[in-house]
Amino acid sequence: MTFRVIVQSRARRDLIRLGDFLVNDNPRAALAAVDAIEAALRSLVTFPERGAEHGYGRRLVIPFGQSGYLADYRIVGVEVHIERV
């Protein structure tokens, strides 16, 4: 089964804020971080249960650099709603 990934406006703002924060110090790292996050979110199309259950939804750990990122999301029917990054 294929799911539809929907990045909510708050999560989209998180991605923009993250890129803006990194771009001044290292534009390549900013692009690589956003690319890694977007690739991880796209992977939820085929396997949305890969994130651990967390609160009211799930949390995906996205490895990057020394610490990585987290994405909080909910599965609603055949949609994956990305809430925060």
Tokens 């909510």 -> residue:
8
Give the whole-angstrom CA distance, residue 16 versus residue 7: 12
Banded model confidence at residue 1, pLDDT cuts 50, 70, 90: confident
Q: What is the pLDDT of residue 28?
A: 94
Please list the residues that pair with 4 across neighbouring strands.
79
Q: What is the pLDDT of residue 9?
A: 98
pTM, whole model, 2 decimals?
0.92
Architecture per CATH, domain 4-84, reads as 2-Layer Sandwich (3.30)
Q: 8-50: per-residue pLDDT in tens?
A: 999 999 999 999 999 999 999 999 999 999 999 999 999 999 9
